[in-house]
Every structure is written in C-alpha cells, then in structure tokens.
Amino acid sequence: MYLAVANIKRVFHNYQIKIEKSIVFLTTIIKLRMNLVIDIGNSKVKVAVFEIDTMILSIVCEENSFLDELKKISNKYQIVQSIVSSVKDIEEVYFEELQKLPSLLLLNSDTPLPFKNLYSSPSTLGNDRIALAAAAVSNYPQKNSLIIDAGTCITFDFINSSNEYMGGAISPGIEMRYKALHQHTSKLPLLSKNEVYKRTGFSTTESIHSGVINGAICEIEGVIAQYKKDFNDLTVVLTGGDTKFLSKQLKNSIFANQNFLLQGLNKILTFNNQ
C-alpha cells in the first residue's frame, strides 16, 4: 500500500514538472511575439518594439541607418506584425525592404482608426497627427484631450470626449524659428535653444532666445488657455523631440510623454489585427 501511494505521488510529481515546463515554454513563445513600430519623421526615424501595449525597445536613428537597426531587431525579436508611418514619401530603396516586414501595415488616410475622424480633408491629415489621436483615445478614452507635439513643427490636435478627432493647428517648431530669423535676415546669427533665457533681452543673442523660447511657451500656454475656456476637464499631453525642454518651462498641468506617437501607432496596429 505504501509503495502504491509513493508511486502515485511520483507520477503526479513528474506530470507537475512537465506541466510547469510547458507553461514556461509557452510563456516564452508568447513573450517573443512582438509588434514593430516605425515612425519616419522629417529629420529622424523612430523604431520601437511592443509586447502587447508595453514598449520594450525604442531607438532614434538617422534615415540612412535605420535599415541596419531593423536587421538587428529582427534577429533579436520574433516580430509578428509591423506598422510604418511616414510624414513624407518613402524612398524606393527603403520601401522595398519595408515590404519584407511581417504583416506590414502602411498607415495612410484609408487605414481604419480607433476614433472618428471629423477633419474636413482627411487625406491631408499627417500620419503623425493620426497616431497622436489614436494614442489619446487609447490612453484617455472619453476625455477631451489636447495633444501638443513639439518637434520640427509644433502641432495642436484636439480629440473630444466622444472620441472624435476635430482638428487643430500647425506652427513652426523651435529650431525652425531660430533658422527663420537667421535665413530671412542679413545679420541675425543662427542660435540653438537655451534653457536659460531672459524675458527682456539685453543683447541680440538674448533677444533672439527670448523671442523664440518665450514666444513658443506663450503660444502653447495661450492655446491651452483657449481650450480650457470651453473644456474644464481638458487633458493636455506634450510630446515630441522638445518635450523635456518645454515641460520644464510650461506652467500648465500637462502629461509629458515622448513616446506618445509610437504608442498611437501600436494602438492602430493592434486595432487593425483584432
């Protein structure tokens, strides 16, 4: 009797070990199934890998090197679906390689979206703004949201509490403002943004910094104030390349998220593969 019970325990123990190993094996396989997100911007390319909604890798690279980065990612992760967004025409040499990606979705104005697009000319709405709207409805559903993307341009995008994209505004970015002052005048120097600036410039350099930085901050603060007059429960998100720089300067309560656009692209990808 004792031996029979011992044998039964041994058999159950062996089965338990096999089941645990199988669970570990299946979990490993599931974790390896990743989403690849590529955002081709005006000046840089952002590449990210998502495990469901969690971003596990994010890199920023030059356009002429991002194909090499894609090869490294493909060797390391088991990519099962991909999305590519570009604010400009993709060069043929890149397009041919991108088409080799698994389950590729090329974002355009005809792509099904997780929100209602009320823009009067949807075919002209930039992919970056589409992705930001998708991130807003994903992270802040049924909320009035103003998304500010501070990059090459400063864009403002508004999504209402009914998850409807209403539109927004496009303004020159900080670097563009510095370049414009230099290129369209004969004597003003080309400067780069400086966190330390004076409201009243006591030299040409100080005046340029004041005009550009203070001007951009006042513009953003002003737009937020205008929207808050109509929507008391407004959620404001700041994203883009100048997020860290501007978030230190802004007085308004905002959510700073440099990866908001990438999260939006991942949301669109999963929405189209449900």
pLDDT tens digits, 206-248: 999 999 999 999 999 999 999 999 998 999 999 999 999 999 8
Question: How many domains would you assign to the chain?
Answer: 2
Query: 128 catalytic, yes or no?
Result: yes
Beta bridge partners of 39: 46, 85
N- to C-terminal Cα distance for the chain?
A: 55
Residue 10 confidence (pLDDT): 62
User: What's the whole-model pTM score?
Assistant: 0.84
Residue 64, phi then psi, degrees to nearest 5: -80, 0
> What pLDDT shows up at residue 268?
98
The pLDDT score that the predictor gives to residue 138 is: 95
Q: Are residues 29 and 129 in the same domain?
A: no
Considering the domain architecture, whether residues 102 and 119 belong to the same structural domain is answered as no
Give the list of residues 6+ apart from residue 197 with CB closer than 8 angstroms, or none: 206, 209, 210, 213, 214
Q: Which residues of 121-159 are buried (b: 16+ CB within 10 A; e: fewer)?
A: eeeebbbbbbbbbbbbbbbbeebbbbbbbbbbbbbbbbb
Residues in the chain: 274
Both 159 and 224 in a single domain?
Answer: yes
Give residue 38's pLDDT.
96
pLDDT of amino acid 255: 94
Rounded CA separation 270/122 (Å): 21
- With a cut of 70, list the residues of the chain below it in pLDDT: 1-32
- Active-site residue identified among 128, 149, 157, 242: 128
Task: Output the CA angle 176-251-60, nearest 5 degrees.
Answer: 45
Q: Is 72 in the same domain as 143? A: no
- Give the pLDDT score at 92: 86
What's the pLDDT at 33? 72
CATH number for the domain spanning 158: value is 3.30.420.40
> Could you give the C-alpha distances from 41 to 63, 100, 102, in angstroms and in order?
9, 21, 22
- Are 183 and 145 in the same domain? yes
Final residue of a structural domain among 76, 106, 136: 106
Indicate whether 136 and 178 sit together in one domain. Answer: yes
Of 120, 127, 164, nearest in space to 149 by CA: 127
- Of 46, 76, 106, the position where a domain reaches its end is 106
- Residue where a domain terminates, one of 106, 125, 159: 106
Tell me which residue range forms the domain holding 40: 1-106
Q: What is the DSSP letter of 122?
A: G
